[in-house]
Amino acid sequence: MKKVCILTDCTSDLNKELYEKNNIVVLPLYVTIGGKTYSDGVDITTEEIYQKVAEFGELPRSSAIGPVVFEEEFKKLLKEYDEIIYMGIGSGFSGTYNNAVLASQEVDPKKIFIVDSGNLSSGIGLLVLKAAKFRSEGFDGIAIKQKLEEIVPMIRTQFAIDTLEYLHKGGRCTGTAKIFGTLLKMKPIIKVENGAMKVAKKPMGKFSRALGVILDYVRHDLDNIDPEFVMVTHSLNEEDATFLKKELAKMNKFENIYDTNASGVISTHCGPKTIGILYILEK
């Protein structure tokens, strides 16, 4: 059986325990604010990013992992592993995917397999956990890649947003310009579809209404959801995460309900209090 390394980046938004338990290697993307660039999750935390936003009065910028970094990592890992499979932030959100492809071609495309997650946050994390499961079942790199690519279109990602400022100024979500003027009253629901973010619904008023909307998505899909994993992922919003986990537990459907924190890069584009429920459909 081939020894397969599962490689991801920090935007997959799993917690440290899940990465370690499943033997996942994680690379950081980068966040720049106040004229200084940081490795996300290595030398800056999400909470520190928000502190710097208040300090400098500017929103942070994120940047991709470069091809040279990937080349160095691939070469290092191939000294220990027979094959590498990488899935990270989707190609529609970052140049990281394309840089990984370029680097794999330079190092050894027969041993390195790159999956476009078409997603972000723990939408990627769901794929990472599935990859770990497939590896434990004895599948090699190419088989894992094929299985993951079948799952990609079945991932459902939806977030409730407390402030549109971060998404609007980052320019990564269609539809934000039309509703930006009413953002103080609106708590929009952002969905990932076809590898891009879009405004799906626009509940008004209290944030609890937005939480109800994302729970309704789950209830609608409940009979068709893969019960193995469901994610509650948030940017410094433990209170609402606790509420959502309790509501999901009442559904008596899920084997594992994971509470994970959004990385700095994800948080720079969604803002504080953002919270989502992410899962995989079975068909």
Same domain, 24 and 94: yes
Mean pLDDT of the chain: 93
Q: Which domain holds residue 185?
A: 154-280
Same domain, 187 and 273: yes
Choose one of 129, 153, 177: the last residue of a domain.
153
Instruction: Indicate if the pLDDT at residue 175 is higher than 60.
Output: no
Same domain, 91 and 24: yes
Same domain, 163 and 235: yes
Please state the rounded mean pLDDT for residues 214-222: 98
Same domain, 144 and 17: yes
Q: Considering the domain boundaries, does residue 239 fall inside one?
A: yes
pLDDT value for 170: 57
pLDDT value for 199: 85
pLDDT top residue among 104 and 270 = 104
Q: Considering the domain boundaries, does residue 38 fall inside one?
A: no
Task: Give the CATH number of the domain where residue 72 resides.
Answer: 3.40.50.10170
Same domain, 97 and 215: no
pLDDT value for 181: 46
Q: Closest by alpha carbon to 224, among 281, 153, 147?
A: 281
Please state the rounded mean pLDDT for residues 25-48: 97
Same domain, 149 and 176: no
Number of structural domains the chain divides into: 2
Same domain, 142 and 174: no
Same domain, 188 and 202: yes
Task: Give the CATH number of the domain where residue 187 resides.
Answer: 3.30.1180.10
pTM of the model: 0.93
Local confidence band at 184 (pLDDT 50, 70, 90 cut-offs): low
Please state the rounded mean pLDDT for residues 253-258: 98
Instruction: Indicate if the pLDDT at residue 251 is higher than 80.
Output: yes
Long-range contacts, stretch 169-174, CB < 8 angstroms, 24+ apart: 169/59, 170/59, 170/268, 170/269, 172/93, 172/197, 172/269, 173/197, 173/198, 173/199, 174/198, 174/199
| Helix and strand counts by DSSP (H, E) for the chain | 11, 14
